[in-house]
């Protein structure tokens, strides 16, 4: 049997103090992240978007299959098509499909079916999950696809915030229209849509409280 090739892993090797400082600094940096719904039309260079996506694509995945495609759109006509199709679905969601409890839970965000950010944000990134791979006309398995693509999307959101840009995890539902508009193959299913850009001047965010450590961590020492 042929051996696998392994290379030494070069770890950062920080002191304990440095690790504690870095962990705490990054916590505060990420606690400043907010989902933004109001975008400026100020452009973001394509190379920046490419770097953000390649950071996301460094995420771990089942059997290292990297079962994702990131479609990055700044074409105005395509963005307008996406907005029209998303608003059509969202209209149905807000007028019956979501139900009273869901609508009540969303009240504090003051959202509705109008999705202006789909036109104004300079870039839309649509994350597709590859439910299987197609190579030379042959189907190949992917594993833990939703977990893998969820992790990659988390890394993308982190990278966007770290760069000083803003985003929103938008899930127009159902999302099949994205596969059609972007002409993706049948092995790809839309997972999430993220507008990316700068905040609109004076953009606000709802007052929210995050759960405390005791509510989200259970230590077993
Ligand atoms: N997809 C709709 C509704 C919506 C659902 C949840 I859960 C949110 O956290 C926010 C919105 C929309 O984008 O408006």
Block means of pLDDT (10 residues each) for the chain, 221 residues, are 83 96 98 98 98 99 98 98 97 95 95 97 98 94 98 98 98 94 97 98 97 98 97
CA of 91 to the centre of ligand 1 (A): 12
Spelled out in words, what is the top-level CATH class assigned to the domain 50-197? alpha beta
Please tell me the predicted confidence (pLDDT) of residue 78: 98
Predicted pLDDT at 67: 98
pLDDT reported for residue 2: 62
Q: What is the dihedral of CA 83, 84, 88, 94, to 10 degrees?
A: 40
Phi, psi of 111 (to 5 degrees): -90, 160
Instruction: Note the pLDDT of residue 89.
Output: 96
Q: Does the beta carbon of 106 lie inside 6 Å of ligand 1?
A: yes
**Cβ of 37 less than 6 Å from ligand 1:** no
Q: What is the CA(116)–ligand 1 centre distance, in A?
A: 14
Those residues whose C-beta lies under 8 Å from the C-beta of residue 185, and which sit 6 or more positions away, are 134
CB-ligand 1 contact for 90 (6 Å cutoff): yes
Whether 193 is in the pocket of ligand 1, judged by its Cβ within 6 Å, is no
Distance in angstroms (rounded) separating the CA atoms of residues 195 and 124: 4
Where does 117-180 show beta strands of DSSP type E? Answer: 123-130, 132-135, 138-141, 166-167
Quick one: which atom of ligand 1 is closest to the CA of 170? Answer: 13
Longest dimension (CA), the chain: 63
Q: How far is the CA of 107 from the centre of ligand 1 (A)?
A: 10
Q: What is the pLDDT of residue 204?
A: 96
Average pLDDT, the chain: 96
Tell me which DSSP letter residue 95 carries: I
Please identify, by atom number, the ligand 1 atom nearest to the C-alpha of residue 109.
10
Rounded-to-5 percentages of helix, strand, coil across the chain: 45, 15, 40
């Amino acid at each position: 049997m042929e051996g696998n090739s392994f290379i030494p892993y070069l770890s950062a090797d920080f002191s304990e103090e440095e690790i504690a400082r870095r962990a705490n600094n990054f916590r505060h940096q990420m606690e400043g992240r907010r989902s933004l719904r109001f975008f400026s039309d100020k452009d973001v260079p394509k190379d920046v978007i490419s770097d953000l996506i390649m950071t996301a694509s460094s995420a771990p995945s089942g059997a290292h299959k990297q079962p994702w495609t990131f479609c990055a759109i700044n074409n105005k006509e395509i963005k307008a098509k996406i907005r029209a199709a998303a608003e059509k679905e969202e209209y149905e969601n807000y007028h019956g499909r979501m139900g009273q409890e869901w609508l009540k839970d969303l009240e504090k965000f003051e959202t509705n079916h109008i999705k202006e950010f789909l036109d104004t944000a300079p870039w839309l990134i649509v994350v597709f999950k590859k439910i299987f791979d197609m190579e030379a006309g042959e189907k190949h398995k992917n594993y833990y696809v939703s977990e893998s693509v969820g992790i990659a999307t988390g890394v993308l959101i982190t990278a966007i915030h770290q760069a000083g840009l803003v985003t929103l995890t938008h899930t127009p539902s159902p999302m099949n229209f994205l596969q059609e508009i972007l002409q993706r193959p049948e092995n790809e299913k839309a997972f999430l849509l993220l507008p990316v850009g700068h905040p609109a001047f004076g953009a606000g965010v709802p007052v929210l409280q995050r759960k405390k450590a005791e509510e989200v961590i259970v230590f077993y020492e």
